[in-house]
Amino acid sequence: MEQANLFQEIVSLCKRRAVVFPSSEIYGGINSCWDYGPLGVELRRNLKDLWWKAVVQGHRNVVGADTSIIMHPEVWVASGHRDHFTDPLVDCKSCKQRFRADQIDLTKCPECGGQLTEPRSFNLMFKTYMGPVEDDAAQVFLRPETAQGIFVDFETIFNGSRGKLPFGIAQIGKSFRNEVSPGNFIFRSREFEQMELEFFVDPSTEDFWFDKWVKERLEWYVSIGINPERLRTRPHGPDELAHYAKACVDIEYLFPFGWKEIEGIANRGQFDLQVHARSSGKQLVVFDQVREENVVPSVIESSSGVDRILLVALVDAYEKEAERSVLRFHPTLAPTKVAVLPLMRKEPLVEKAVSLEEELRGSFTVEYDDAGSIGRRYRRQDESGTPYCLTVDYQSLEDDTVTIRFRDSMRQERLPVKGLTGRISELMKSREPMPVE
Ligand code: GAP
C-alpha cells in the first residue's frame, strides 16, 4: 500500500476508535492540538511508564522531578531561548500563507506561486501574563522544553538527594511551541509532552557518557518492540547544532513521510549551569572530593516526545491484512492486555466470563465484550492491539478452561483458568507469544 494511504488509514483508525483526534472538534478543531481517548490514554501511560522504568528506576543514580510549566522569565533570557529559540518565517504576499524559510524554495510561494516577504525571525515561545495586569513586567512564557526546570533546580535536588556525579534528573511533562508549520498528525504539534533526562557528569567524562546514553536509548526503542530496521542514529553537523550543544545525535524513525527525529541526545557541556549561575548569582557547582575543588558538571541530555513516540508505536504496529486491520503492539505497550469474551451473550457463559474478567482486572487492563459475533469481536480487539482474547465457551463450564487467541498469529489454544494471571504475565514478556504447552 502507498505510504500516504497507509498513514491516512492510521489517522482514520485513531479517530474511529477514539485513540487520538483533533481537540475541540465540535467547534471545527484547533490547529495542531490533540485529544486522547481511552485507548490512546492507556498507550500514553504505558509508554511513559516504560520510559520511567528504564531511565529512572533502572538507574541507582537517576532521580525524578516535576517542575512547573511557568517559570521566572529570566530563566528564558539566561538559557538563550528568548533570543535564539526562533524559526525564520516568510509570508506570501498573495495568499497570505506562512512558511518556514528553511523548508521551502524562497523564489516563490509553494502554494500559489506568489511573491514572498523577506525572512524574519519568529520566537516559538508562547507568551502569557502572570496576574491581572497585562504589561511587560508581568509577561511569562509557557516552557518550550522541560529541561530548564531541571537545570534551575539542580542544586536543590542534588543536595536533597545527597547526590554524587554522575547524577541524572529526569522528568516527563508538557511543553509548548508556537510552531510555524505543525503537521503530520501528532508528529509536530504546538502542545506536546516531553520525556527528558539531564545527566550531570564530570566534564572529563562527557564523551563516555554521551556514547553510553546514545546506545542505551536506541536499545530502549527495540525493547518496547519497535522494528530496529526502521530506527537509525544521525549525528548533527556543526551547522545544525542548537545554541547550547557541543554534539548531538538524533534517533530517527522511518515514518511513511520519511526518516524523522524522535529523540535527541545532546552533549550540552557546562552551558546550562554556567549561564544560570551567571544570571542568578548562585554557584551551581559540585565539590570534587578527590581533586578538592569545585566542578561545574557537564550535561548529557536525552530528550524525546511522548506524542511522537506514540506515533512511532502506531505506525510500527499497524498492518492491513485481507480480513482485518491489526495493531501489533508489544504486549507491554498494548492499551488493553486481555479481552474476555463469552462465546454468546447467554447464561451461564456470561456469569463465568464476568467472574473471570473481575479476577483478571486487578492485574491487567481488561475489556469485556459480549456484543456481536465472536469473529467480529476478535477483529475489534485486533484493531485495538489487544494481544490476548479469552473466550468462555460451553467446555469452560465443564473443565474450567478457556480459549486463548493470540492477536498476531490468530492461533488458539486451551488454557486452565487456574494460574491464568501468571501465564499471561509470562506471555507478555515477549512480542511473539510462545506456543502454550
Ligand atoms: N531539551 C532539548 C529539546 O527540547 P528538541 O530536539 O527541540 O530538544 C526533543 O526536542 C524532542 O521533543 C524531539 O525529538 C521530539 O520528540 C519532541 N518534540 C519537539 N518538538 C515537538 C513538537 N512540536 N511536537 C511534538 N514533539 C516535539
**Which atom belonging to ligand 1 lies closest to the Cα atom of 177?**
23
Domain with CATH 3.40.50.800 in the chain: 328-430
Show the cell assigned to 359.
479476577
How would you write the pLDDT of the chain (437 residues) with one tens digit per residue? 677 799 999 999 999 999 999 999 999 988 889 999 999 999 999 999 999 999 999 999 999 999 999 999 999 999 999 998 888 899 888 888 888 888 888 888 888 888 988 888 889 999 999 988 888 778 999 999 999 999 999 999 999 999 999 999 999 999 999 998 888 999 999 999 999 999 999 999 999 999 999 999 999 999 999 999 999 999 999 888 888 889 999 999 999 999 999 999 999 999 999 999 999 999 999 998 888 999 999 999 999 999 999 999 999 999 999 999 999 999 999 999 999 999 999 999 999 999 999 999 999 999 999 999 999 999 999 999 999 999 999 999 999 999 999 999 999 999 999 999 999 999 988 765 544 44
C-alpha 396/C-alpha 352 separation (Å) is 8
Write the secondary structure of the chain as one string of H (helix), E (strand) and C (coil).
CCHHHHHHHHHHHHHHCCCEEECCHHHCCCCCCEEECHHHHHHHHHHHHHHHHHHHHCCCCEEECCCCCECCHHHHHHCCHHHHCEEEEEEECCCCCEEEHHHCCCCCCCCCCCCECCCEEEECCCEEECCCCCCHHHEEEECCCCHHHHHHCHHHHHHHCCCCCCEEEEEEEEEECCCCCCECCCCECCEEEEEEEEEEECHHHHHHHHHHHHHHHHHHHHHCCCCHHHEEEEECCCCCCCCCCCEEEEEEEEECCEEEEEEEEEEEECHHHHHHHHHHCCCCCEEECCCCEEECCEEEEEEEEHHHHHHHHHHHHEEECCCCEEECCCCCCCCCCEEEEECCCCCCHHHHHHHHHHHHHCCCCEEECCCCCHHHHHHHHHHHCCCEEEEECHHHHHHCEEEEEECCCCCEEEEECCCHHHHHHHHCCCCCCCCCC
What Cα–Cα distance (Å) separates residue 267 from each residue in 148, 318, 389? 15, 34, 46
Architecture of domain 328-430: 3-Layer(aba) Sandwich (3.40)
pLDDT digit string, tens, across residues 47-70: 999 999 999 999 999 999 999 999
Q: Tell me what pLDDT residue 432 has.
A: 54
Residue 321 · residue 408 · CB < 8 Å? no
**Which atom belonging to ligand 1 lies closest to the Cα atom of 146?**
1
Closest Cα to atom 2 of ligand 1: 303
User: Across all residues in the chain, what is the average pLDDT?
Assistant: 93
Q: Tell me what pLDDT residue 98 has.
A: 85
What Cα–Cα distance (Å) separates residue 106 from each residue in 6, 88, 90, 178, 182? 31, 12, 9, 22, 19
Nearest-CA neighbor of 338 among 370, 312, 301, 368?
368
Closest Cα to atom 16 of ligand 1: 305
Among 194, 252, 309, the mutation site with the greatest number of ligand 1 atoms within 8 A of its Cβ is 194
Residue 293 CA, ligand 1 centroid: distance in Å:
36
Q: Residues enclosing ligand 1, CB less than 6 A?
A: 145, 147, 177, 179, 188-189, 192, 194, 196, 261-264, 301, 303-305, 307-308
For the domain made up of 3-68+147-316, give the CATH fold.
Answer: BirA Bifunctional Protein; domain 2 (3.30.930)
| Distance, C-alpha 273 to centroid of its chain | 27
pLDDT digit string, tens, across residues 69-123: 999 999 999 999 999 888 889 988 888 888 888 888 888 888 888 898 888 888 9
**Which atom belonging to ligand 1 lies closest to the Cα atom of 190?**
23
Residue linked to cell 539531564:
198
C-alpha 329/C-alpha 380 separation (Å) is 15
Do β-strands 401-406 and 412-416 pair in parallel, antiparallel, or remain unpaired? antiparallel
Q: What angle do CA 239, 245, 248 make, to 5 degrees?
A: 75
C-alpha 217/C-alpha 195 separation (Å) is 12
Whether the ω angle into residue 256 lies within 30 degrees of 0, i.e. cis, is no
**Which atom belonging to ligand 1 lies closest to the Cα atom of 145?**
4
**Which atom belonging to ligand 1 lies closest to the Cα atom of 188?**
24
Nearest-CA neighbor of 370 among 383, 381, 360, 385?
381
pLDDT digit string, tens, across residues 303-347: 999 999 999 999 999 999 999 999 999 999 999 999 999 999 999
| Distance, C-alpha 10 to centroid of its chain | 17
Residue 34 CA, ligand 1 centroid: distance in Å:
16
Residue 264 CA, ligand 1 centroid: distance in Å:
8
C-alpha 224/C-alpha 50 separation (Å) is 8
Nearest-CA neighbor of 293 among 206, 204, 209?
204
What Cα–Cα distance (Å) separates residue 102 from each residue in 174, 242, 255, 342? 26, 15, 21, 57
Domain with CATH 3.30.930.10 in the chain: 3-68+147-316
Q: Tell me what pLDDT residue 436 has.
A: 42
Taking the model in full, what pTM does it have?
0.94
